[in-house]
Amino acid sequence: MGQVRDRAPDEWDCVVFMAVAETGTRQKAVRLLADRYDEHITVEGVRVILNKINKWLHRPALEEGVGPRGKVRLTPRGLRFLRFCERVRGIYLDERRYFAESHVPTLVCLPHHATIVKRLYVDTLEQEPIGEEKIHILELQQSDRGNESFFDQALWPLTTGAYHLAIGPAPPEEFRDELQSDVLYDARLEVFVPADFPGDAMSLDEFVRWPRMSHLPPKDSGARILLENAIATYGVDDPGEHRRVASETYEIGSVIECVSLLHERGLPTPLVLAPSDVALVYKPGMRFGGAGVEHSRWVPLHHQGAPFRLDVHVTTANPRPRYLRPLVALLQKICGDEPGLSGPL
């Protein structure tokens, strides 16, 4: 057990084993499975599953025909495996019960989408006279902002029906047939600079040549991939990552707090790069994160006047269920009404 090539027992194998342990014989287990689950399996099929379990355990899980009236007797390893089966079965039942009982769609997103989803939650709640929730919001971890992690944690569960909507990057090619995706807004890459910074934008050349190193998103994020590709594509004179990257982090709140304090005191500061949807909450006037940044501002990053943009999508199953279409339309309206998410350079 434990080798990758081993075929571990699945839920159905566990159910069959539990049936044999409960009834005491293969024949009775076959009848129980038919009566309780409406699943039909032969005695030979039960034998094959029991052999698979024994092979995976590297020892017998039960002894047949040795108990009272010829019933099976669980070995010590079999008793332990039975408890494992009960846990596996319980996990699947809990998941099925949640999605069977819940008629409310679940939207999965990242914490920096709070500005969008809090409006969506309140607006949908306001539409329902009796105050019933019309959507569940599930926030992933900050570390799931990386493209691969987001695909695993958000988009893959969409294909299984675990979630119903996702806000984030567009699905990769392998998801295109199963998922439908529409652009919500285009986030610009923005740079956190002192309030007295000259100009309303920063060029890529100026960003790279900044005398102090910068705080950037990690390399697996869309923003960082866009930045590094632009530096290479446009042939910018790059001093190298070791001379321009102070730190890589998804959680920029503490970094902004430190840099904004440097701005306030007029001290030399590093740059902070973030997409505009991440930067939004750290701007003056925002309800929570915007406090204490009055001596700072955000300017878009550009190359020869062209800003760097990242499309942010809302994704559902394909074809999109009819009941989700009003939610998608409301999300698009909320994003269209928020000037801080996108716009001209």
Query: What is the structure's pLDDT at 129?
Result: 62
* Phi-psi category of residue 133: left, alpha or beta, with phi > 0 → left and psi -120 to 50 → alpha: beta
More confident residue, 144 or 6: 144
Of 4-13, 69-78, 168-177, 331-340, give the lowest mean pLDDT range. Answer: 4-13
E strand or H helix at 23, and its extent?
A: helix 11-23
> Is the CA virtual torsion 139, 144, 146, 150 positive or negative?
negative
Q: Write a three-state SS string for 87-129.
A: HHHHHHHHHHHHHHHCCCCEEEECHHHHHHHHHHHHHHHHHCC
Say yes or no to pLDDT of 174 above 60.
yes
Query: What is the structure's pLDDT at 102?
Result: 54
Which of the four pLDDT bands, split at 50, 70 and 90, describes residue 338?
A: confident
DSSP 272: E
Model confidence over 278-324: pLDDT tens digits?
998 888 777 667 777 889 999 999 999 999 999 999 999 999 999 89
Copy the structure tokens of residue 316: 């559902």
CB atoms < 10 A from the CB of 219, how many?
Answer: 13
Model confidence over 51-80: pLDDT tens digits?
999 999 999 999 987 766 778 999 999 999
Mean pLDDT of 218-237: 93
Q: Which residues pair with 299 in a beta bridge?
A: 191
Say yes or no to pLDDT of 128 above 70.
no
Secondary structure E strands in the chain: 62-63, 73-74, 106-109, 136-139, 165-168, 179-194, 202-203, 214-216, 245-248, 272-275, 296-303, 306-307, 309-317
pTM: predicted TM-score of the whole model, two decimal places: 0.69
CA distance 334 to 16: 50
- Candidate ranges 58-72, 133-147, 327-341; pick with highest mean pLDDT: 327-341
Say yes or no to pLDDT of 330 above 60.
yes
Q: Which of 282, 275, 238 is nearest to 260 (CA)?
A: 282
CB atoms < 10 A from the CB of 40, how many?
Answer: 9
Say yes or no to pLDDT of 258 above 50.
yes
Query: What is the structure's pLDDT at 327?
Result: 93
Say yes or no to pLDDT of 97 above 60.
no
Model confidence over 30-55: pLDDT tens digits?
999 999 888 899 999 999 999 999 99
CA distance 295 to 317: 44
CA distance 251 to 266: 24
- Mean pLDDT of the chain, nearest integer: 88
* Phi-psi category of residue 168: left, alpha or beta, with phi > 0 → left and psi -120 to 50 → alpha: left
DSSP 66: -
CA distance 171 to 196: 40
> Do the Cβ atoms of 265 and 100 come closer than 8 Å?
no
Percent residues over pLDDT 90 in the chain: 59
Say yes or no to pLDDT of 100 above 80.
no
> Do the Cβ atoms of 164 and 316 come closer than 8 Å?
yes
Query: What is the structure's pLDDT at 81?
Result: 94
Say yes or no to pLDDT of 94 above 80.
no
Say yes or no to pLDDT of 1 above 50.
no
Percent residues over pLDDT 70 in the chain: 91
Query: What is the structure's pLDDT at 96?
Result: 62
Query: What is the structure's pLDDT at 16?
Result: 95
CA distance 33 to 18: 10
Model confidence over 309-322: pLDDT tens digits?
999 999 999 999 99
